[in-house]
Chains A and B, each alone.
Chain A
Amino acid sequence: MDGSGIRQALSMMNERGSGEGAGYVAYGVYPDYRDCYALHVFFDNIRESKPLLDATLAQWGTIEHDEAIPTYDQQNLRVPCTPWRYFFKPDASLAVPGSATPEEDVASALVMQVNAAHRGALIFSSGKDLGVFKAGGWPEDVADFYRIEDYEGYLWLAHNRYPTNTPGWWGGAHPFNLLDWSVVHNGEITSYGTNRRYIESFGYTCTMFTDTEVVAYLIDLLVRRHGLDVDLAVRALAPPFWEDIDRMPEAEREWNSALRLTYAPAMMNGPFAIVAANADTMVGFTDRSKLRPMIVGECGDRLYISSEEAAIRAMEPKIESITMPAAGEPVIGRVAP
């Protein structure tokens, strides 16, 4: 799929945005560098900041290739920064000895350090063979700015932002990404203060001034570092109510209860519909009361998750099935091998 379809789908929901942020992530866009971490960076001032980041990256590993992300001026898009991309191989020997995922540990620590240092460089995309393309503007302008139709991916997320709690800036646009995981989010996480403090005690640093960022880190912690299946991780983030747990058969009650106790500070509250993805999975889930809409469409081997049916029909007019999952019930799609 190239990006033109999802651009059109997102356009259907412009009522849900304010022209202050939109973005796309596509998986499978960098096959030539599939073994490298594709670091997408916003430089505030490329002359000042790039030499600093180049030096840091040289310390942490090897830059295989780097270049400006191709962009095309749009009349309605003010560009305060320069988007750049690096194809980077981290030095796995820098990881803590005995780590199960040394390369990932180094890459994520690098992202955290660079973003927390606030030295005019923000790494907003850091996965292999994937790229986030986002900016502060309307979805069509952002898509045209990056010519999103030039990218060919097998899994796409996109988002149209209407910021309220936090400033509308380029870094704050969705999707948020850390390594393999990307997240788009409609809603407001009322437990953000608890979630952020929890995730920061595991070495993550929240730098984007927005609640969605923690979702990416929480999924990274639960799935990559704690080894939970995606559906269990999602269940920890949006667990069943106690009254439902109390009614479960004993074994099920026991592990659900353990999951709630252990990951209480990771549990997310407030209204949300979230779609998260990695290279082989796409998962959509809502808060336990479903205070934000989430619609699921299926057509052949394609899965669509959206806030509105109109967006799905814009991409797939002959959609075969449209369903509305119950509150808190996750929808998981796997990429066919």
Chain B
Amino acid sequence: MIGSLPSRYRIEVDPVRCMECGRCIENCSYGVFSRDGDRICINSRNCTACHRCIACCPRDAIMLEEHPCDYRSHPLWTREAREAIYNQARTGKIILAGMGNALNYPVIFDRLVLDACQVTNPSLDPLREPIELRTHIGKKPARLDLRRRETGDIELRTRLTPNLRVETPIMIGHMSYGAISLNAQVAIARAAKEVGTFMGTGEGGLHSALYPYQDRMIVQVASGRFGVNIDYLERGAAVEIKIGQGAKPGIGGHLPGEKVCDEISRTRMIPTGSDAISPAPHHDIYSIEDLAQLVRGIKEATEWKKPVFVKIAAVHNAAAIAAGVARSPADAIVVDGFRGGTGAAPQVFRDHVGIPIEAAVASVDRKLRDQGIRNEISVIASGGIRGSADVAKAIALGADAVYIGTAALVAMGCRVCGNCYRGLCPWGIATQRQDLVERLNPDTASKQVANLIHAWTLELAELLGAAGINSIESLRGNRDRLRGYMLDESLMQVLDVRSVGA
């Protein structure tokens, strides 16, 4: 017998403050609260710490405590290790989890510090001096053929391939319709349009409600090819081939049939109620040359008018893979670190497979430089970007731009409870249940996401100005403006940074 495990959270309602309005009951989709006459009953065991009840309680009457009941503490046999065993002993199944890596690995970003000017060069004030954050994602020529005509005019003889012009190096990564609600996607799309950036569709097709924002959408082609047809490719501003995802490198995806409602069925082009299973590999990509062929295929289909990105999970050999991708006609490579979020992934993958984005992006940048082709392709870093400082550090480590995912969801209310895979998101984000979806107002949610990107952009301009840099490209790969704090020697070599004080 295993018996019941201790509740993870304890919810308490302060009877003096509570006015029994019942908002907690209405808002909790996990069934923590119920009414018994004029009493509110609590079943803490159902709680996910999504905070919806706390956010909605007009009297601040609800308290939440994590781990109210301790196990005997043990450094190896942690609570998580023991509970995973109980769980699997009972079910015999793979444990599913949501959001990003939940193991306590050190965060490299938090061991890197940025630089500022003192005396020898002036720091710049963004209120008075221009600070340029405009970024171009796409292929660049290695050199230019610029001729001066007899008349003195300059003639550009090199033809440049189309680039995406982003007004800030912050883009929003791929979260599919299915993984998140249509309201959430619409909110993100409006925000992307407002701040002059782009968002990914994920592998869920492009719902017609997003057509007005299609020039801000990067349409994804993943191994299940859901929603992919020529109309879809032509609507997007760019196309992204997804090879892997940081939260689950090496495996595909699974959208349970229960979530495949009529709208999702139409958008993904699959029957209602059927599981949407993306295979682990693309069934037409078994080698790098197959990938190059697919890139060319998509380029041909879209008449070489659209940039094509390739997204890989940050794995041990990411640098060499990126170099291979760079030799194809692909315009950008997205590297998704092991902290990247997901709607659903096996816990063992989420927590144990892949490498941190900081190391991956630094080694990708170095490898491309060693081959003399770094500036010819863009590098987008993603997976665990929490704030403008992470953006600045990722760029200084060699990225052109970043994708954010979880941060955009948090801006809409997500509390990172990690239960996305259950489809009951009380915030209306990671759910398809109509009553829950309606809780997310796309107007206010889009404003919040736009505010977030705007705020980070302002902070980035301040950080650049303080470092005496007035254009983002001069921060790109500029490890001299980073120092490692309490990082070991070998990791500093990989990151190509020196220690604080050095």
Binary interface encoding of chain B residues 171-214 relative to chain A, with 1 for a CB under 8 A from any of its CBs, else 0: 00000000000000000000000000000000000000000000
Query: In the assembly, what is the distance between CA of A78 and CA of B474, in Å?
Result: 38
User: Taking the complex as formed, is A265 at the interface, i.e. its CB lies under 8 A from any CB of chain B?
Assistant: yes
Which residue of A has the minimal Cβ distance to B478? A193
Given that A190-B121, A201-B370 are contacting pairs, would A255 and B375 also be in contact in the complex, using a CB cutoff of 8 Å?
Answer: no
B residues near A192, Cβ cutoff 8 Å = 478, 480
Partner of A243, one of B120, B130, B148: B130
Are A258 and B160 neighbours in the complex by a CB distance under 8 Å? yes
Given that A198-B375, A200-B369, A201-B370 are contacting pairs, would A193 and B481 also be in contact in the complex, using a CB cutoff of 8 Å?
Answer: yes
Partner of B477, one of A193, A258, A262, A270: A193
Are A259 and B121 neighbours in the complex by a CB distance under 8 Å? no
A residues near B142, Cβ cutoff 8 Å = 262
Q: Which parts of B360-390 form the interface with A (CB within 8 Å)?
A: 369-372, 374-375
Given that A188-B121, A228-B146, A262-B143 are contacting pairs, would A269 and B470 also be in contact in the complex, using a CB cutoff of 8 Å?
Answer: yes
Are B158 and A258 neighbours in the complex by a CB distance under 8 Å? yes
Query: In the assembly, what is the distance between CA of A241 and CA of B155, in Å?
Result: 20
Which residue of B has the minimal Cβ distance to A246? B134
Given that A242-B134, A270-B468 are contacting pairs, would A198 and B143 also be in contact in the complex, using a CB cutoff of 8 Å?
Answer: no
User: Taking the complex as formed, is B284 at the interface, i.e. its CB lies under 8 A from any CB of chain A?
Assistant: no
**Residue from the set B119, B124, B468 with the largest chain A CB neighbour count within 10 Å:** B468
B residues near A258, Cβ cutoff 8 Å = 141, 144, 146, 156, 158, 160
User: Taking the complex as formed, is B129 at the interface, i.e. its CB lies under 8 A from any CB of chain A?
Assistant: yes
User: Taking the complex as formed, is B140 at the interface, i.e. its CB lies under 8 A from any CB of chain A?
Assistant: yes
Query: In the assembly, what is the distance between CA of A264 and CA of B479, in Å?
Result: 16
Query: In the assembly, what is the distance between CA of A232 and CA of B374, in Å?
Result: 22
Which residue of B has the minimal Cβ distance to A264? B473
Query: In the assembly, what is the distance between CA of A102 and CA of B130, in Å?
Result: 43
Partner of B132, one of A164, A242, A252: A242
Are A193 and B479 neighbours in the complex by a CB distance under 8 Å? yes
Are B154 and A191 neighbours in the complex by a CB distance under 8 Å? no
Partner of B468, one of A241, A263, A271: A271
B residues near A268, Cβ cutoff 8 Å = 474
Given that A193-B480, A194-B477 are contacting pairs, would A251 and B153 also be in contact in the complex, using a CB cutoff of 8 Å?
Answer: yes
Are B163 and A229 neighbours in the complex by a CB distance under 8 Å? no
Are A241 and B478 neighbours in the complex by a CB distance under 8 Å? no
B144 to chain A, nearest CB (A): 5
Query: In the assembly, what is the distance between CA of A175 and CA of B346, in Å?
Result: 60
Are A265 and B153 neighbours in the complex by a CB distance under 8 Å? no
A237 to chain B, nearest CB (A): 11
B200 to chain A, nearest CB (A): 23
Query: In the assembly, what is the distance between CA of A252 and CA of B481, in Å?
Result: 34
By the criterion of a CB under 8 Å from any partner CB, how many residues of chain A are at the interface?
A: 42
B residues near A159, Cβ cutoff 8 Å = none
Are B473 and A190 neighbours in the complex by a CB distance under 8 Å? no
Which residue of A has the minimal Cβ distance to B154? A255
Q: Which parts of A186-224 form the interface with B (CB within 8 Å)?
A: 187-188, 190-194, 196-198, 200-202
Which residue of B has the minimal Cβ distance to A232? B146
B23 to chain A, nearest CB (A): 49
Q: Which parts of B322-380 form the interface with A (CB within 8 Å)?
A: 369-372, 374-375
B residues near A263, Cβ cutoff 8 Å = 144
Are A289 and B129 neighbours in the complex by a CB distance under 8 Å? yes
User: Taking the complex as formed, is A79 at the interface, i.e. its CB lies under 8 A from any CB of chain B?
Assistant: no
Query: In the assembly, what is the distance between CA of A227 and CA of B145, in Å?
Result: 8
User: Taking the complex as formed, is B476 at the interface, i.e. its CB lies under 8 A from any CB of chain A?
Assistant: yes
Are A267 and B471 neighbours in the complex by a CB distance under 8 Å? yes
Partner of A190, one of B146, B155, B158, B468: B468
B residues near A226, Cβ cutoff 8 Å = 143-144
User: Taking the complex as formed, is A75 at the interface, i.e. its CB lies under 8 A from any CB of chain B?
Assistant: no
User: Taking the complex as formed, is A48 at the interface, i.e. its CB lies under 8 A from any CB of chain B?
Assistant: no
User: Taking the complex as formed, is B469 at the interface, i.e. its CB lies under 8 A from any CB of chain A?
Assistant: yes
B residues near A264, Cβ cutoff 8 Å = 140, 375, 473, 476
Are B372 and A202 neighbours in the complex by a CB distance under 8 Å? yes
Query: In the assembly, what is the distance between CA of A104 and CA of B449, in Å?
Result: 54
B365 to chain A, nearest CB (A): 8
Query: In the assembly, what is the distance between CA of A259 and CA of B143, in Å?
Result: 9
B327 to chain A, nearest CB (A): 16
Are A190 and B375 neighbours in the complex by a CB distance under 8 Å? no
Query: In the assembly, what is the distance between CA of A258 and CA of B121, in Å?
Result: 29
User: Taking the complex as formed, is A326 at the interface, i.e. its CB lies under 8 A from any CB of chain B?
Assistant: no
A residues near B154, Cβ cutoff 8 Å = 232, 252, 255
Binary interface encoding of chain A residues 249-260 relative to chain B, with 1 for a CB under 8 A from any of its CBs, else 0: 001101100110
B residues near A128, Cβ cutoff 8 Å = none
Are B130 and A241 neighbours in the complex by a CB distance under 8 Å? yes
Query: In the assembly, what is the distance between CA of A88 and CA of B71, in Å?
Result: 79
Binary interface encoding of chain A residues 154-177 relative to chain B, with 1 for a CB under 8 A from any of its CBs, else 0: 000000000011000000000000
A residues near B473, Cβ cutoff 8 Å = 194, 264-265, 267
Binary interface encoding of chain B residues 132-170 relative to chain A, with 1 for a CB under 8 A from any of its CBs, else 0: 101010001111111010000111101010010000000
Query: In the assembly, what is the distance between CA of A243 and CA of B163, in Å?
Result: 18
Are A262 and B375 neighbours in the complex by a CB distance under 8 Å? yes
User: Taking the complex as formed, is A261 at the interface, i.e. its CB lies under 8 A from any CB of chain B?
Assistant: yes
User: Taking the complex as formed, is B117 at the interface, i.e. its CB lies under 8 A from any CB of chain A?
Assistant: yes
User: Taking the complex as formed, is A291 at the interface, i.e. its CB lies under 8 A from any CB of chain B?
Assistant: yes
B residues near A197, Cβ cutoff 8 Å = 369, 477, 479
Given that A188-B121, A242-B132, A270-B121 are contacting pairs, would A194 and B478 also be in contact in the complex, using a CB cutoff of 8 Å?
Answer: yes
Query: In the assembly, what is the distance between CA of A200 and CA of B370, in Å?
Result: 8
Given that A228-B144, A262-B140 are contacting pairs, would A289 and B370 also be in contact in the complex, using a CB cutoff of 8 Å?
Answer: no
Query: In the assembly, what is the distance between CA of A194 and CA of B400, in Å?
Result: 12
Partner of A291, one of B121, B370, B371: B121
B307 to chain A, nearest CB (A): 13
B49 to chain A, nearest CB (A): 42
A255 to chain B, nearest CB (A): 4
User: Taking the complex as formed, is B68 at the interface, i.e. its CB lies under 8 A from any CB of chain A?
Assistant: no
Given that A258-B158, A262-B144 are contacting pairs, would A190 and B467 also be in contact in the complex, using a CB cutoff of 8 Å?
Answer: yes
User: Taking the complex as formed, is A185 at the interface, i.e. its CB lies under 8 A from any CB of chain B?
Assistant: no
User: Taking the complex as formed, is B260 at the interface, i.e. its CB lies under 8 A from any CB of chain A?
Assistant: no
Partner of A261, one of B140, B469, B476: B140
Partner of B117, one of A190, A193, A200, A254: A190
Which residue of A has the minimal Cβ distance to B117? A190
Query: In the assembly, what is the distance between CA of A261 and CA of B467, in Å?
Result: 22
User: Taking the complex as formed, is A7 at the interface, i.e. its CB lies under 8 A from any CB of chain B?
Assistant: no
A42 to chain B, nearest CB (A): 26
User: Taking the complex as formed, is A40 at the interface, i.e. its CB lies under 8 A from any CB of chain B?
Assistant: no
User: Taking the complex as formed, is A288 at the interface, i.e. its CB lies under 8 A from any CB of chain B?
Assistant: yes
Query: In the assembly, what is the distance between CA of A303 and CA of B437, in Å?
Result: 72
Q: What are some 16 contacts across the A-B interface (CB < 8 A)?
A: A165-B120, A187-B121, A190-B474, A192-B478, A193-B478, A197-B369, A198-B369, A198-B374, A201-B371, A241-B130, A255-B144, A255-B154, A261-B136, A262-B142, A264-B375, A265-B476
Cβ-closest 3 pairs across A and B? A193-B480, A191-B474, A269-B474
Binding site for B on A (CB under 8 A): 164-165, 187-188, 190-194, 196-198, 200-202, 226-229, 232, 241-243, 251-252, 254-255, 258-259, 261-265, 267-271, 288-289, 291
Known: A190-B469, A264-B140. 18 other contacts (CB 8 A): A165-B120, A187-B121, A188-B121, A190-B481, A191-B475, A193-B481, A198-B477, A201-B369, A201-B374, A232-B146, A242-B134, A258-B146, A258-B156, A259-B144, A262-B375, A270-B468, A271-B468, A288-B470
